[in-house]
Structure 1
Amino acid sequence: MKIIDAHHHFWDLDANYLPWLKDKPVKFRYGDYQALKRNYLPKDYRADVAPFELGGSVFIETEWDPMDPLGEVAWVAGVRAASGLPSVMVAQAWLDREDAEEVLAAHGATDFVRGIRHKPAAAPSPDKFDPGAPGSMADPAWRRGYAMLASNGLTFDLQTPWWHLVEARDLAEAFPDTRIHLNHTGLPADRSPEGLAGWRKAMKLFAAAPNVAVKISGIGVPGHRWSVEDNRAVVLDTIDIFGPDRCMFASNFPVDSLVGSFQTIFSGFLEITSEFSEADRRKMFHDNAANYYRMTADEPV
């Protein structure tokens, strides 16, 4: 089956500044990420994806130097011209900064940029949730920037833990002309019965908004190698909640190489969805990403 990888990264640590990979380690959901502190470029990605027929890819911003969000776009333009990858890009922007209008206008004028990602402030656990905290999706300063996305033709990639999806649902309703792509399946890290029940409830609330979709990715369990057994229920519940028309599969490479190979992860997705119709699988593995990220037949691959 031809796939579009709806979420991946490249980086060149010899040439560029990514604070989380160059400076003091940060708290990371998979634990030790020392193995990611190496260059990961199209030739490395093509080797990882080789067992599959790649129909396109979506580069997601890499937490590049926050003082230079346009620098990453310029770098990706060069990578894209030299290698044919990525097909399109989701760029960095800081919605609550004074330069948001200028940065978003530049992104909107770049032919291969389709949207932006700015991870909103998030509480570390459901019991610490503070509605309206500075930098959150309910912060008026953050929303002023978000309000500029639609006029610049940009979608929004949202990475936030599931207990913030109540804010995301309100955001989707307040800005119906901006589509939200939820990253990494809403981050169902707590696989206890209680944790999964909270995640399912939040995902159902969010999915009720018509202008949202989800990327099934980033569901590795810390301390475990990626397995169908660990992830089958999360994948099937997500498809049940959003429907095959609003789900996309993605690798989150090279980040998820910490928990499994590209082949292990995508073969697992294919196994878990083996009982779906060919048409529904084609949507989830290819067509939905092509539609939501506005890919055309002449995008590079």
Structure 2
Amino acid sequence: MQTTPLPIVDAHQHFWNLDRNRHPWLSDPEPIPFRYGSYAALRRNYLPADYRRDTARHRIAATVHVEAEFEPARPVAETDWLTALAAAEGLPSACVAQAWLDRDDVADVLAAQAARPLVRGIRHKPRSAATPDAARRGAPGSMDCPVWRGGYALLARHGLSFDLQTPWWHMDAAAALAIDFPDTPIIINHAALPSDRSAEGLAAWRAGLATAARAPNVALKISGLGLPGQDWRYDANGPVIRDAIAIFGPERCLFASNFPVDSLIGSYDAIVDGFLRAIADRPEAEQRLLLHDNAVRVYRL
């Protein structure tokens, strides 16, 4: 399949240099539980030359680097490394930086991150339940936690957005957060992780997305749709893409690759081709929104 002539902003990708920097999940000997299973193939440097090789068939206009769980004691060091990388290599175009919203140093870290021109937003994964049945509101470290919210409240002061990675069974808390802090844009990562592809699981996922979509300051990144032990397949992921766009609308959805993480389940070409197939029946203006314009607006590129 030939690629679309439309330019793409990849709204979620990662770089790392394990020779220079420590990412505990990649650098430490003991692996962590991971939703795709083994991630041994990711324990290698991934830099702009690697990304350009993987994306060679496509018109990548810009990329947004999302914090890659860099050494948590030095969150600003990742941003400084990325700034030097962008100056030398032209990528990334912007970044979503790390900050721990419930840590004592959050005010200083946010001020330092916001002072870096590459930074557009922050990601800190709130505490989440492992299953829908275990989900409870109000847990320490969750989106309801007063300490966590105290840090979150500082984002608006710096004009920062928030990238939210949490499963769909916490979309009620996400909606409440968006309503309580209307000046802070939220971008939900990885389509709220629809890992259960049963009819019941997808129905519950759609209901969760609909809850979050009621808040006008919430957008959705359509990425990270892989399933453990399976190659990226259109028959599994195409309906998810179409449902996500139907719920949030083409004005609030963004394409993203999650590379190189999603290289574990598919090539860049397979992921882009599947997304293009899912949106092929939409007008070109909407395709442009999904592939490029929404990310330019949301991340102020």
Q: How would you bin the TM-score normalised by the shorter chain?
A: over 0.9
1:269 aligns with 2:269: no
Counterpart secondary structure, 1:244: coil
Following superposition of structure 1 onto structure 2, how do residues 238-257 of structure 1 map, counting pairs within 5 Å? 238-257=244-263
1:5 aligns with 2:10: yes
Counterpart among 16, 28, 31 of residue 25 in structure 1: 31
Counterpart among 16, 36, 49 of residue 21 in structure 2: 16
Match for residue 50 of structure 1? Answer: 56
Counterpart secondary structure, 2:120: strand
Counterpart secondary structure, 2:85: helix
What is the alpha-carbon distance in structure 1 between the residues aligned to residue 99 and residue 112 of structure 2? 10
Shift of 1:197: 0.9
What is the alpha-carbon distance in structure 2 between the residues aligned to residue 264 and residue 233 of structure 1? 16
Following superposition of structure 1 onto structure 2, how do residues 128-277 of structure 1 map, counting pairs within 5 Å? 128-277=134-283
Q: Percent of aligned pairs with the same residue?
A: 56
Counterpart among 273, 285, 291 of residue 285 in structure 1: 291
What is the alpha-carbon distance in structure 1 between the residues aligned to residue 110 and residue 275 of structure 2? 34
What is the alpha-carbon distance in structure 2 between the residues aligned to residue 11 and residue 126 of structure 1? 33
5+ residue gaps, structure 1, are 296-301
Counterpart secondary structure, 2:219: strand
Counterpart secondary structure, 1:245: coil
Deviating beyond 4 angstroms after TM superposition, the runs of 4 or more aligned structure 1 residues are none
What is the alpha-carbon distance in structure 2 between the residues aligned to residue 288 and residue 138 of structure 1? 28
What is the alpha-carbon distance in structure 2 between the residues aligned to residue 197 and residue 139 of structure 1? 28
What is the alpha-carbon distance in structure 1 between the residues aligned to residue 242 and residue 56 of structure 2? 26
Shift of 1:130: 2.3
What is the alpha-carbon distance in structure 2 between the residues aligned to residue 182 and residue 273 of structure 1? 20
Shift of 1:22: 1.3
The CA RMSD over aligned residues, in Å, is 0.6
TM-score under structure 1 length normalisation: 0.97
What is the alpha-carbon distance in structure 2 between the residues aligned to residue 80 and residue 39 of structure 1? 16
Counterpart secondary structure, 1:55: strand
Shift of 1:98: 0.5
1:116 aligns with 2:101: no
What is the alpha-carbon distance in structure 2 between the residues aligned to residue 22 and residue 84 of structure 1? 26
1:94 aligns with 2:100: yes
